[in-house]
Structure formats: structure tokens, C-alpha cells
Chains A and B, each alone.
Chain A
Amino acid sequence: MFVLPAVVSIDPAAAAAMIRYRLRRLKAARARAAGRRGACFPWESAASGEDVTPASVPLGGRVVPVLTGQLEEHVTADVAWAAARYAEWTGRPDRLALPLLLETAGYWASRCHLDDAGEAHIEGVIGPDEYHERVDDNAYTNVMARWNLRAAADAAGRAGLPDADSRRWRDLAERIVDGYDPAAGRYEQFAGYFGLEPLLVADFATPPVAADLLLGRERVAASQVIKQPDVLMLHHLVPGEVAAGSLGPNLDYYGPRTAHGSSLSPAVTASLLARAGRPDEALAMLRTALALDIADLSGMTAAGLHLANLGGVWQAVLAGFAGLQVRAGVLSIDPRLPGAWGSLQLRFRCLGRRVRLDITPERVEISTDGPLLAGLAGAMPRRVAGRARLDRRG
């Protein structure tokens, strides 16, 4: 979710190695799904592919159980998403991604629980916001599972596989609840979240802050304070799976509740703010992410750089400020530059090409080392080779 999308635009071969790492550990992931079908990837994975998340940690004079290894199941959909992102961004066939998509979809199909009304639920999980544990119908987990089922069905269709599973997956995807309230334009982060203490981060600290350390795990869990984007990660990763126009209302609602106590949070938030048309706010958040290791904001950079944050920063620049997307073999560009930036120049790889973009408020110029379908968002894409100027007319 953080590193691979950056790496695939810098060194696609390294990204392929990351996908192969998961493929080689499918057997362990199948074993981990014990009692269910498909593959369930571990929260922390090392050489064997078995989960290596510590079971407990001493904190504040107590031994605190660590539940992420058992309950942060969205990682299974995240692995599938990374594989699909690799395939999409490189423009290569699903060969690497297909087994991961199918196996993970198989897991979600057996993980979902249908109620009497025929709605599908996923109970007892931890979402990206790790302040709330063992929650039901976490919007992020449910929508990512839904995306996973649909993506696998699409991939199976492209591969000409029998469509019995695909039909079942598509049907189940339609049934998964996501907590969306069309009237408010908001997703409820999990069942019961809106009923928690309506505490805002500004009430007790200036973010970023490790709210769980400051207030205590129990107090934070009883409140609406969250560690990092959870619902909003959906707008970042799978914008096609969330309701159109819901980014703004969810940013407005969850932003003041987000402590950014995860080093992953500022960069993703910067990307989201840029996409929401608030690039100056996005730049302030990006600066926090950029300073994280350079200024040792975490107090532990000596133990190692925060690579996922670095990947997030690169994503914020590419996907957030430059508005890059690759869909169906087309590079789409939709810049949102902060007022402080006179221009933005980027070099990256996509669709098998080396690409350079020169973006100013007035124009977008693209240079490639080979033919590439590209265009500004909303305009007809065109085949570019060498250097070209893109405009809204296509």
C-alpha cells in the first residue's frame, strides 16, 4: 500500500520481486487461512511467510497484548491490491497478480458472514486505525474485501477461467455492508463508531501525536480519535469503490479526529488533501512527512528510516499533487499544485516507459522514451512519443 506503489514507478523489477515474495509464500498464507478457503496473509511476514507479529509488548508497566497479528486482516486485500497495482502500472498481464487475486478473494468469500437479510459482514477485525480493536464491519476492511472480490472476478474473466466463482464473488461483493450514509456523504469507520465519545485531537494535543500513549489505550478506544486515515485510505487506494463526491465530507469529518500517530498518516493525508482540491493544506502535511526522518520527528530514526513514509511521500507527489493514475493502459494526469510551487518536475516509470513531466499552473508537458497513451483527466488520451504538450482538448 505504501512501498510498492512507489517502487513500481521507480524500479518495476524491484516491485515484481515484491510480488514474487508474496507468491512464494502463498502456501503459508493458505495454511494461515485454516478453516477457511483461499489465502490469508500475515500482518508481519518474514522468511517463512508465517505471521511473526509479537503477541505482547510491555507498555507503561503492563504487558499489553498485540492483536494486530490476529485481527488486522485487511493486509490480505492489501497484498492483492499491491499485485493489481503492479499489473496496472506496468501494463503487464495479470500473470503475477492473478494467483494472489484469486486466492485472496477465496479467503474473503469464506470470511464474510451473511445475515438473515442477506447482507455480508466481516466481524472482529482491526482497521488501519489501530486505536480501535476487534471491531465489526470496518469500512476499510469491508470495502477492500469487496474490491478484492470484484478484481478477482474481473481477472478470472480476462484469464478465461470458469465463471462459477466469479459470479459468486460478484454477488457477495454487492452484499458487503460499507457503513455509507448517503445523506451525510460519510462512511462510518466501523459499526458503532459514531456513538463513541466525540473527542477531537485539538481538544488535547497538536497533531501529529501518539494519542494512545498520551491518553491511554482504553480512553482512545472509547473515543472517535483515530491513529491514521482508515475510511480515507479507501479514497486513496480504491477511489472507484467509494461513493462519488465522498472524499470532501469524509476529510472534513475524519481529519479533526486523526492524531496522525502513525508515521504513514501525514503523507497519505497530503495526497488526499491535494485530490480534494486543498493543495496548500496538503503541502503543510507533506512537509511533516518529509521532515519525519530528516528532522527525526519520531525520535527513533537511528533505528532505521521509515520506508513506508518515504513511499507515501512519493505517492503523495505522484498521485496527490500530480494526480497521476494508470487505468487500462492510459496515464492520466490531473495536477493540483500548491500556491508555493511554481512548477513540478517528475521523472518516473510507467507502462514500460520512462516518463518526465513538467507541470506548471498553465501547462503540462510530457516526455517519454517510447509511445505512451496519456492525457489530462477529463480529456481524450492520445498517443505521445518524445516530447508533447497536453491540454484539456486532448
Chain B
Amino acid sequence: MTQVLAVLGGGPAEAPVIDTAAALARIAHARVRRVSLAADLSAEQAAAQVLGALDSPGIVLAVLARDERSRPIWRRVAQRSARPVVLVPAAARGRRPEIRRVLLPLDGTAESAAAVAGAVEQFAGAGVDLVVLHVFDAETVPRFWDQAAHAGRAWAEEFLARYCAQPGVRLELRTGVAGEHVLDVAEAERADMIAFGWSQQLDPGRARTIRRAVLDAVVPVMLVPIAPG
């Protein structure tokens, strides 16, 4: 049977990690497998333990606490894992343990859409409400936008057909810097999770939107690695 890995290392986010893992396990028709990290492990050793567990047969994703104490661990795991990693903030405590709505920021590239396609299918199959967010910037803003009332609908239909072809998905469009909109839209939409496809690059200047979401989100953030091209 497939399993969702709940990585426990003590700390305030442990309860939300368990809740999130359980909620995801229900969606994936999986069961939760808990992995406890000994307190005396170095970050490298702890990450190696998690990555080793993630490589086990049947494991579909890992759920980790995202707090300052465990930062060196989750960074290593997220950057090296071939499977999705869900980072749970301590602030997620007290929120509803169900995942009813997921926000999917999509940048309009086939790669990031393909990365989350499997997760999207599972969410949709489980009846999770999906809201796609696309943020226009100087590089991605459409060249033509004739009559707003019609262009918006036609453009949204085409965007979803290309990048998130699931029934019932809704598209929210914003303009500006993506990182400045993701959390606001997640809050406005009362999303229970944010899911990104990502290139696993956290170097300065890379993945600004994801770094900001991971660090500041009050809901779990799922990072799905983009398969090497």
C-alpha cells in the first residue's frame, strides 16, 4: 500500500505535520508512516534518514515541519528528494486538518504544470477544490487583450486547457510579482495548501516565489520536483 511519510522531530509543528500527513493520506488512499528523527542527529544525517525513507517502495511524499530549528533539514530534503515534499508551518496548528482547497500557482510553463499534474489529478479525484493562480509580469503579460469581458474568459479557458485540464478548476489572474500575490490569494481563497512545481534551486535569485511562500505561508506548502528535462 502507498504511504505518506510523516517526519517527526519534535517541536511545535509536529501535530500539524501528523494532521497534514493524515489528510494527504486520505486523498491518496494511503496510510501514514511516521519517521522520528533523533535529536542528536546532524542536519545532514537527519536529511539522509528522511531521503532514505522517501526512497522506500510505496512512499509517495514526505511531510516535514517547516520551522527555524528544522530549516537545515527540510532544505536538504526538499532540494534532493525525487518525490514531493510538504512543508508544514507551526502556524498551521489549529487550522482544519482537512485539505479541501489547494492553490496552484502556475507560471505558464509546461514544465511546472507537468510537475504538479499527478498531484492535481489526485486532488481533483478526491474532490479537492483547485484554484490556479497565474501572475502576469513584463515577460508573461498577454500581448493582446481585446474586450476584457470576453478576453479574460477565453484566455483563462485556454490557459487551463493547456496547464491544468481538470473539471471545475478556477483561474485567478494577478499582475506584478508572483511572490507578492501567492500568499494573499491563498488567504483570500481560504486555501488549505499551496502546491508548486519547482526546480529544487534555492540559491539566491532563484525560486523567489517559492522561498517566500515556504517561509511565510500559514498553510502547508507542497513542493513537487520538476523532472529533469
Contact = CB atoms under 8 A, between A and B. Distances in A.
B149 A209 contact: no
Interface stretch (A112-120, A210-218, A245-253): A210-218
A58 interface: yes
A35 B184 CA distance: 47
Contacts of B173: 59-60
A260 B157 CA distance: 23
Given A214-B141, A216-B175, A262-B144, A300 B158 contact: yes
B138 A204 contact: yes
Contacts of B149: 53-54, 56-57, 66
B172 interface: yes
A213 to B, nearest CB: 5
Given A59-B173, A213-B141, A299-B142, A64 B161 contact: no
Interface residues of B, number: 27
B144 A58 contact: no
Contacts of B143: 208-210, 260-261, 297-298
B82 interface: no
Contacts of A205: 138, 141
Nearest to A44: B147
Interface residues of A, number: 34
A184 interface: no
B154 interface: yes
A261 B137 CA distance: 15
Contacts of A302: 157-158, 161
A213 B65 CA distance: 38
A263 to B, nearest CB: 4
Interface in B163-188: 172-175, 185, 188
Contacts of A142: none
Nearest to A215: B175
A300 B154 contact: yes
Contacts of A304: 154
B145 A57 contact: no
Given A61-B188, A303-B158, A210 B142 contact: yes
A213 B144 CA distance: 10
B148 A299 contact: no
Interface of B: 136-138, 141-152, 154-155, 157-159, 161, 172-175, 185, 188
17 contacts: A59-B148, A60-B175, A61-B185, A66-B147, A210-B142, A210-B144, A213-B141, A213-B142, A214-B137, A262-B145, A263-B146, A297-B144, A299-B142, A299-B159, A300-B155, A304-B154, A306-B146
